[in-house]
Structures are given as structure tokens and as C-alpha cells.
């Protein structure tokens, strides 16, 4: 951004930055609390606390098969009727990426809020999609509204919408640095002081505000993990494998989203899709939710190679089916989970020939490498994994090895199969 693009008085920019951070923090916190409250009510666990020590996976595992099926049928009805009604009567949605690039950067307040709430409700009820898009949309629409009220320029509004989205991510996941890097790498695609300062400020404020309701907790809790020579060699060799897998996953999900209906058949498709997930979840409760549960048991070494393979296949299929049915949600946590599960499989086979490394260590590396390529955000992925898990900084070396190989392979695949 050039100096000429900063046309508003400095006090307005500072005030909008501060208020964006606060509103994104409040929005992210409220969405997270709504998510947990619905989860507890739907599956009948931890009734006395919205934020509890009992995980979603533990809660759904304790629920009866019939209850899981019933909740998923309700989820299908809400998803189908909700998004069909929104497309039918709501104002056209404007994505964050479109708003950041638009010469008239404005997001409809009501439609965007309903869109975000539908994502949170369906993820809480067991949808396999991610919840991270919803807080980003709330943060972005709050920034859009503030920029209109304070008459900021088009370029200033674009930057603040991006910062609001990053702040929403920072709030709901407690990743202040990750939120800021996401703004610069993914949404704005540039680094400058004029972008860095509001990105860091809004994300830090949002994360701090969200502590009031969510606490200062990391998303994943790890047992002590050690770096071995075997892990270092594995990270170099398996990085491209993880990148190729991420490329296939991205093609699959992009095609599913492109083919998704936006008319009345949304209701039927979603009802059938989520009913199928409910039936499968009777035998495999790990399929429910955005993938945080499978990722956690992968990091904790509480998974076998066979179980990891079954969950991975199931998660990929139901993620495709859910997107194809027209439901909405993110792919950040699903991608992270898929990478962790795939790494457990690859690491388990590797340990046959070179034993001594825990599956949890492989899972951390695989999650970062897969996420980096599936979301096309290598820097953000590395920072997010470090903040999500608070793993030791020594793990940066194998993580960077794997991420480099993953990005190189996915880039090669895109040039070979997409551009041609």
C-alpha cells in the first residue's frame, strides 16, 4: 500500500483498528460459546458448563447411537432449510476474499451473520466442516460496518476487512500471531508496515478479548514429544507425499463446492447426507465434528494405524458429501486433521523399518504440511500449528522440511494438472 492510499485522519484509523479488534474478539467468543452450548445440549454432556474439560469426542462417544442419528438428522434439516432460505430471500453473500479485492468493499450484515450462525450450528451438531470461516466473517463484516461509519477510503476498508477476518480467527482459536500472518499471507498477499500494524493489533486485541469467555488455552494439548533422526529424514521424504495428498483433497473439495445446489434440492441433499453421517457415526463417533477429536488423539498417540486409515477415509468421504450437498464451512481443521491422520499411517509404516518415533510426532509434522498445501498458506500453517499445539520450537526444523516439500509438490501438481 502506498502512502497516498492512506487518506483518512490517523485518529480514525486507530479507532477503527481498536474497535475492529474488540468486535471481532466479542464475535469470535460468542460464536465459540454458542458452539459449545449447542454441542452439550445436543449430545447430552457437561450440562453444567459451557466450557468444560470433557471434549466433544468424549461427549459424542458417550451418546447413544440413536441420539447421534437424531442429532444429525436435525443438522441436515437446519442446513438444508437454512441455506436454501438464505439463498432464496437473503441479500447476496459477499465473501471475504471478494470484499478485499472489490472496489466497493461491503458485506451484507444480516446475510453474513446468518451464514456464520448456520455454520456454527451445523458444526456443533456434527458437520465435518470447519468452524473457522464463521468468526472470520463476523470480524470482517464488523470491520466493513465500521469503515462505512468512519468513511475510510476503499483501500483502507479492504485492509480493515482483512484484519477483521484475521482477528476473528485469532479470537476463536487463540492464535494472535496466526491471525495476523493469515491476513498478510492469504487475504492481502503482501507485507508492509501499513498492513502489518493493524493486522497484528486487531488480532492481539481480539485474542485478548476472547480470553474473557474462552480462557487462555491452546487448542491441542500434547504429551512430551522428541525429535529423532528418523523423524527428520521422514519429514524430508514424506513432505512431497503429504503435498500430493493435499492437492488431491483440494481438487476433490473444490469440485464438490462447484457442483453444490443452491435451490430447493438443498434440503433433500443435506437431509440424506447428514442422515448417512449419523448412521456411520453410530459405529465411528470420531467422524463427527470438524476433525479436532481425531487430530487430538493422533497427537496423543492414542490411535492405531488401522483406526487412522478408517477415520481418514471416512472423513474425506463425508467432507466431500457435505460440500456436495451444499452445506457451508471451513476446511482448516479438516485439513489439519487429515494431515495428522495420514502422517500416523505413513509414520506407522516408517516405524517398521526405522522404529523409535512416536506417532504423535509424525502427526504434528503431517498436520502442518497438509494444511500448508491444502489451504495454500505455508507461513500461516507453520505459525498456526505452533500456536495450536504450543509444541517445542525444535519442531520447527522438521515442520519446515515437510512444509517445503509439500508446497513444492502441490505447486508442481497444480502446474501439471491444472494449468495444462
189's CB contacts (< 8 A; 6+ apart) are: none
What value does the mean pLDDT take over residues 317-346?
97
What value does the mean pLDDT take over residues 176-191?
94
Yes or no: say if 395 and 225 are a contact pair by the CB < 8 Å rule: yes
Residue 343 has what pLDDT?
98
Question: Is 50 exceeded by the pLDDT of residue 258?
Answer: yes
Cell numbers representing residue 12 in the block: 480514525
Residue 49 has what pLDDT?
83
What value does the mean pLDDT take over residues 136-162?
95
Residue 9 has what pLDDT?
86
pTM of the model: 0.94
Question: Is 60 exceeded by the pLDDT of residue 409?
Answer: yes
Residue 30 has what pLDDT?
97
What's the CA gap between 365 and 273, in Å, rounded?
A: 32
Question: Is 90 exceeded by the pLDDT of residue 4?
Answer: no
CATH 1.10.3080.10 fits 3-214, yes or no: yes
Residue 168 has what pLDDT?
97
Mean pLDDT score of the chain = 94
Q: Tell me the per-residue pLDDT of 358-397, one tens digit each, with 9 for 90 and over.
A: 999 999 999 999 999 999 999 999 999 999 999 999 999 9
Select the more confidently predicted residue: 50 or 235: 235
Residue 52 has what pLDDT?
83
Burial 259-272 (b: 16+ CB within 10 A, else e): ebbeeeebbebbbe
Residue 262 has what pLDDT?
85
Residue 104 has what pLDDT?
87
Residue 1 has what pLDDT?
40
Question: Is 70 exceeded by the pLDDT of residue 5?
Answer: no
Select the more confidently predicted residue: 191 or 420: 191
What value does the mean pLDDT take over residues 60-83?
96
Residue 8 has what pLDDT?
74
Residue 3 has what pLDDT?
39
Question: Is 80 exceeded by the pLDDT of residue 419?
Answer: no
Residue 193 has what pLDDT?
84
Residue 137 has what pLDDT?
97
Question: Is 90 exceeded by the pLDDT of residue 296?
Answer: yes
Report the interhelical angle of 359-374 vs 378-389 (nearest 10°).
Answer: 140
Same fold flag, 3-214 and 229-413: yes
What value does the mean pLDDT take over residues 75-103?
95
Residue 6 has what pLDDT?
62
Q: What is the CATH number of domain 229-413?
A: 1.10.3080.10
Structural domain boundaries in the chain: 3-214, 229-413
Amino acid at each position: 500500500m502506498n502512502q497516498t492510499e492512506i487518506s483518512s485522519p490517523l485518529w480514525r484509523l486507530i479507532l477503527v483498528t481498536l474497535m475492529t479488534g474488540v468486535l471481532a474478539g466479542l464475535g469470535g467468543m460468542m460464536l465459540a460459546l454458542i458452539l459449545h452450548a449447542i454441542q452439550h445440549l445436543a449430545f447430552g454432556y457437561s450440562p453444567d458448563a459451557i466450557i468444560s474439560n470433557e471434549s466433544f469426542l468424549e461427549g459424542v462417544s458417550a451418546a447413544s447411537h440413536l441420539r447421534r442419528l437424531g442429532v444429525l438428522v436435525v443438522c441436515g434439516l437446519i442446513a438444508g432449510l437454512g441455506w436454501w432460505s438464505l439463498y432464496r430471500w437473503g441479500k447476496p453473500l459477499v465473501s471475504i476474499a471478494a470484499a478485499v479485492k472489490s472496489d466497493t468493499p461491503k458485506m451484507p450484515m444480516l446475510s453474513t451473520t446468518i451464514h456464520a450462525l448456520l455454520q456454527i450450528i451445523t458444526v456443533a451438531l456434527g458437520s465435518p466442516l470447519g468452524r473457522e470461516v464463521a468468526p472470520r466473517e463476523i470480524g470482517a463484516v464488523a470491520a466493513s460496518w465500521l469503515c462505512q461509519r468512519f468513511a475510510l477510503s476503499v483501500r483502507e476498508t479492504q485492509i480493515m476487512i482483512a484484519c477483521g477476518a484475521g482477528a476473528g480467527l485469532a479470537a476463536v482459536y487463540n492464535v494472535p500471531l496466526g491471525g495476523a500472518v493469515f491476513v498478510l499471507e492469504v487475504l492481502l498477499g503482501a507485507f508492509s508496515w501499513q498492513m502489518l500494524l493493524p493486522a497484528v493489533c486487531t488480532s492481539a486485541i481480539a485474542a485478548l478479548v476472547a480470553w474473557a469467555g474462552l480462557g487462555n488455552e491452546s487448542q491441542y494439548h500434547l504429551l512430551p514429544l522428541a525429535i529423532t533422526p528418523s523423524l527428520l529424514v521422514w519429514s524430508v521424504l514424506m513432505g512431497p507425499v503429504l503435498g500430493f495428498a493435499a492437492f488431491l483433497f483440494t481438487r476433490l473439495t473444490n469440485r464438490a463446492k462447484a457442483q453444490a445446489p443452491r435451490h430447493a434440492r438443498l434440503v433433500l441433499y443435506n437431509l440424506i447426507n447428514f442422515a448417512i453421517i449419523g448412521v456411520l457415526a453410530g459405529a465411528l463417533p470420531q467422524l463427527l465434528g470438524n476433525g479436532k477429536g481425531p487430530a487430538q488423539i493422533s497427537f496423543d498417540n492414542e490411535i492405531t494405524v488401522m483406526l487412522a486409515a478408517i477415520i481418514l477415509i471416512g472423513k474425506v468421504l463425508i467432507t466431500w458429501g457435505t460440500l456436495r450437498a451444499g452445506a457451508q464451512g471451513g476446511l482448516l481443521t479438516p485439513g489439519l486433521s487429515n494431515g495428522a491422520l495420514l502422517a500416523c499411517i505413513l509414520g506407522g509404516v516408517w516405524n517398521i523399518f526405522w522404529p523409535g518415533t512416536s506417532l504423535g510426532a509424525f502427526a504434528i509434522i503431517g498436520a502442518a504440511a497438509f494444511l500448508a498445501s491444502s489451504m495454500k498458506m505455508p507461513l500461516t500453517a507453520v505459525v498456526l500449528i505452533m500456536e495450536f499445539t504450543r509444541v517445542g520450537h525444535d519442531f520447527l526444523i522438521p515442520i519446515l522440511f515437510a512444509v517445503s516439500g509439500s508446497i513444492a509438490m502441490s505447486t508442481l501438481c497444480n502446474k501439471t494438472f491444472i494449468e495444462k
